[in-house]
Amino acid sequence: MKQVVVRYRVRPEHLAEHEAKLRAVFDALAREAPEGLAYSATRLDDATSFLHVATVTTADGSNPLTALPAFRAFVAGIADRCEIPPSTSDGVSFGAFP
């Protein structure tokens, strides 16, 4: 199991566009339901910071999220939308509930 944690802050003037692209990712996930992936994205209380957590449990370790066209569209140009660029860290899960 691999866990990836990403944090960043979006420029306020790009917030609506960013959230629309993020919703498109979750729409695609709902349609395609890729196996071996748990994914969450949270907008924090400052209204422009985001935290994403992807847990990958595929047999070969590949991340199904990165294969989605909607996700590739989401990450395209993300640096231009961000005030603080994405910072990615590997994580270790101690569990999840439920």
Residue type, 89: S
Query: How confident is the model over 7-62, as pLDDT tens digits?
Result: 999 999 999 999 999 999 999 999 999 999 999 999 999 999 999 999 999 999 89
Instruction: Provide the pLDDT for residue 45.
Output: 97
* Both tokens assigned to 17: 């566009």
Instruction: Provide the pLDDT for residue 1.
Output: 84
pLDDT class of 94 with cuts at 50, 70, 90: confident
Instruction: Provide the pLDDT for residue 71.
Output: 98
- pTM attached to this predicted model: 0.92
Query: How confident is the model over 58-78, as pLDDT tens digits?
Result: 999 899 999 999 999 999 999
Distance CA 70, CA 48 (A): 21
Distance CA 75, CA 37 (A): 18
Is it the case that residue 98 has pLDDT exceeding 90?
Answer: no
Domains of the chain: 2-91 (3.30.70.100)
CB half-sphere exposure, 11, CA atoms < 13 A: 10
Distance CA 78, CA 95 (A): 30
